[in-house]
Amino acid sequence: MHRRRSGCPINLTLETFGDRWSLIILRDLMFGHNRTFRGLLGENIEGIASNILADRLKRLTANGLLSRSADPGHKQKFHHTLTEKAIELVPMMAVMGGWGLRHTSASEELSVRARILEDGGPQLWDEFMQELRHLHLGAPAPKRSVSAALQSAYEAAMARRRPSAHGPVHR
């Protein structure tokens, strides 16, 4: 059994995650569409190593933040889904993203989702959590898709970033 350093809830939360990679994996599962090891490895823009990804997926599963199920069509393929415990981290992720908008030099295209979540506040976070419950836990579908709005805004930011046929884009 893992020995706790203290009973402080902030410390215990950090011990549950282990390191930054765990939060990055949770982010990728919240905002991305890949749920397999290969999909998560390929989608990760920070360049996580495969051994780190494998270890963190095991840790997140052991700590009750992810569940893992076998793919019936492929014996060695598993799907990772968020649990309710992980979905409840959406407000924390939104606040962290908002802090990053204010205190770091984040790129425009990678900031767009954080800005929407910050502007939308707790009501949008709740709607996003309902959608994640639908996608990962089989809850009823929400009336609107927050994920689709976030993805559309991200794609628009990426399109602005790409040079057009008429010359470079000036920021």
Distance CA 147, CA 142 (A): 11
User: Which of the four pLDDT bands, split at 50, 70 and 90, describes residue 156?
Assistant: very high
Give pTM, 2 decimals.
0.87
Distance CA 19, CA 139 (A): 30
Distance CA 56, CA 143 (A): 33
User: Which of the four pLDDT bands, split at 50, 70 and 90, describes residue 5?
Assistant: confident
Question: Alpha carbon of 92 to those of 8, 99, 114, 161, 165: distances in Å?
Answer: 17, 10, 11, 28, 40
Span 115-134, pLDDT tens digits: 999 999 999 999 999 999 99
**Dihedral sign computed on CA atoms, order 10, 11, 12, 18:** positive
**Dihedral sign computed on CA atoms, order 107, 113, 119, 122:** negative
Two tokens, residue 141: 């579908």
Domains and CATH numbers, the chain: 9-85 (1.10.10.10), 88-161 (no CATH)
Q: Residue 169 pLDDT > 70, yes or no?
A: no
Distance CA 133, CA 131 (A): 5
